[in-house]
Amino acid sequence: MISKCLFPAAGYGTRFLPATKAMPKEMLPILTKPLIQYGVEEAMDAGCDIMSIITGRGKRAITDHFDISYELEHQIKGSSKEALLSDIRKIIDKCTFTYTRQNEMKGSGRRPICKGRVLVGEQDPFAVILADDLCVNPDGEGVLRQMIDLCNKYRCCIVAIMEVPTEEVHKYGVIEGKRIEVGVYMVSNMVEKPDNDKAPSNLVVIGRYILTPDIFGVIEQTEPGKNGELQITDALCEQAKNGMVIAYKFKGKRFDCGSVDGFVEATNYFYALEKGE
Ligand code: G1P
């Protein structure tokens, strides 16, 4: 049973400056909903009810978003606007939010994940969502739910992957592995942002992980990788050498909302959906 989901959300979001100068990038809205709320809803749909968020300086808006705003709710009570808060209200009622602040904003690996240790504990596997990657599956279960089903079967770390054109692999963590069932690979090697011509495959990791708590010990032993940053990919690669990582080609669609292009694409997708186009 996976009840906790970790959200590293301490980054600066420099690609969205000046919008992110005083506002967390996780709060940028796709239509009327902040990016991080999509991630939290995906985690909730997958059965998680403890959302552990690693924040940092200037990220107070995230904490406030996942809390009741008495004045506002009082103000719009009985009006047509009340319905606009029903989704967030459901989240607040169902989930517990825990936070810790990361004081240095580097890497997606050791610092944030280790900071998360105190929040997710060391008893059970936990999920990780990088909210920049917005995932949808209009035909069925959300991506995290699909991964949890697989974790129940294989009982090890799971990473979500997708195929990209070779010229794009340098933007991602890339896996090497053996296919063991349709869309499922036993990972033998992982490389963070390799040169396009040195990548072991075109199967890349997106921001959805299920990690077993032994990852914390492995992260502690792992040397800084790409750009001197401590990457989760490098710790997972160590786990993979012991046959402890499964890569899963998820069903659905992923938008790279860490880039302006992906953000606009996601906005257009949800807008068309809302208009019934
Ligand atoms: C992070 C991970 C990378 C992964 C990517 C998915 O990179 O380090 O392995 O492929 O997320 O979005 P970032 O995009 O934070 O540079």
What whole-number distance in Å separates Cα of residue 219 and Cα of residue 208? Answer: 18
Name which residue sits closest to atom 6 of ligand 1, judged by CA. 206
| pLDDT for the residue 57 | 86
Say whether the peptide bond before residue 34 is cis (omega within 30 degrees of 0).
Answer: no
Distance 73 CA to ligand 1 centre (A): 37
Probe ligand 1: pick from 205, 209, 219, max atoms within 8 Å of CB?
A: 205
Residue range of the domain that includes 221: 4-274
Q: Which atom of ligand 1 is nearest to the CA of 231?
A: 8
Q: Name 52's bridge partners.
A: 6, 98
Looking at residue 225, its pLDDT comes to 67
**Contact between 105 and 9 (Cβ < 8 Å):** no
CA 133 to centroid of ligand 1, rounded, Å: 9
Nearest CA to ligand 1 atom 15: 108
What's the one-letter identity of residue 151?
Answer: C
CA of 262 to the centre of ligand 1 (A): 14
Tell the residue nearest (CA) to atom 11 of ligand 1: 207
User: The pTM is what?
Assistant: 0.94
Pocket of ligand 1 (CB under 6 A): 108, 130, 133, 172-173, 192, 204-207, 231, 233, 258
For the chain, 277 residues long, give each residue's pLDDT as a single digit of tens: 899 999 999 888 899 999 999 999 999 999 999 999 999 999 999 999 999 999 988 899 999 999 999 999 899 999 999 999 989 999 999 999 999 988 765 555 445 677 889 999 999 999 999 999 999 999 999 999 999 999 999 999 999 999 999 999 999 999 999 999 999 999 999 999 999 999 999 999 999 999 999 998 888 887 776 666 667 888 899 999 988 899 999 999 999 999 999 999 999 999 999 998 7
CA distance 38 to 129: 10
Calculate how far, in angstroms, residue 205's C-alpha sits from the geometric centre of ligand 1: 7
Expressed in angstroms and rounded, the spacing between residue 207 Cα and the centre of ligand 1 is 6
Tokens of 41: 């809803």
C-beta separation of 218 from 240 below 8 A: no
Ligand 1 center to 263 CA (angstroms): 16
> What is the reported pLDDT for 61?
96
Ligand 1 midpoint to CA 167 (Å): 16
Q: Are 207 and 129 a contacting pair, CB within 8 Å?
A: yes
Note the pLDDT of residue 227.
67
Which pLDDT value is given to residue 109? Answer: 47
Q: How many CB atoms lie within 10 A of CB 69?
A: 14
**Strand 203-211 relative to strand 126-129: parallel, antiparallel, unpaired?**
antiparallel
CATH number at residue 38: 3.90.550.10
What is the CA angle 149-153-157, rounded to 5? 80
Nearest CA among 157, 276, 151 for reference residue 213: 157
Domains of the chain: total: 1
